[in-house]
Amino acid sequence: MAVAREILSTTAERLRIQGGLTVYEAPALYQELLDSVRRCSRVEVDLSAVDDVDTAGLQVLMICKREARRLSHELLMLAHSNAVVQTFEFLNLAAFFGDPLVLPAAGGV
């Protein structure tokens, strides 16, 4: 897993996660994401390059989303990859995160 950080303003940043969101990456992701949520009032997470998700990765996203809400900060999930969309749908988590999911067209059209 690689995380690229883009500073959007003094109170906002975007993190682009590339690779897996699994038990192997969860500790590093947790620290990186939680630090951003506590430092910035708005954090955008670009999930377009995520190729694998398991429950440990989901727990990190959920914990950080709750922490952002507790602090009255925004944690937005953007550009969900197919792996993320499928996992959110399978576990019925889209409502928890509250971010719009752009679903691929049926038949690849």
The pLDDT, as a whole number, for residue 102 is: 63
Q: Tokens 């690229």 identify what position?
A: 4
The pLDDT, as a whole number, for residue 94 is: 81
pTM: predicted TM-score of the whole model, two decimal places: 0.85
pLDDT by 10s per residue, the chain, length 109: 888 999 999 999 999 999 999 999 999 999 999 999 999 999 999 999 999 999 999 999 999 999 999 999 999 999 889 999 888 888 888 888 877 766 555 554 4
Fold classification of 2-95 (topology level): Transcription Regulator spoIIAA (3.30.750)
The pLDDT, as a whole number, for residue 98 is: 79
The pLDDT, as a whole number, for residue 109 is: 44
DSSP alpha helix (H) spans, 1-109: 26-39, 55-70, 82-90, 94-97
- Around 39, how many Cα atoms within 13 Å sit in the side-chain half-sphere? 15
Q: Are 97 and 68 in contact (CB under 8 A)?
A: no
Where do the domains of the chain lie? 2-95
The pLDDT, as a whole number, for residue 104 is: 54
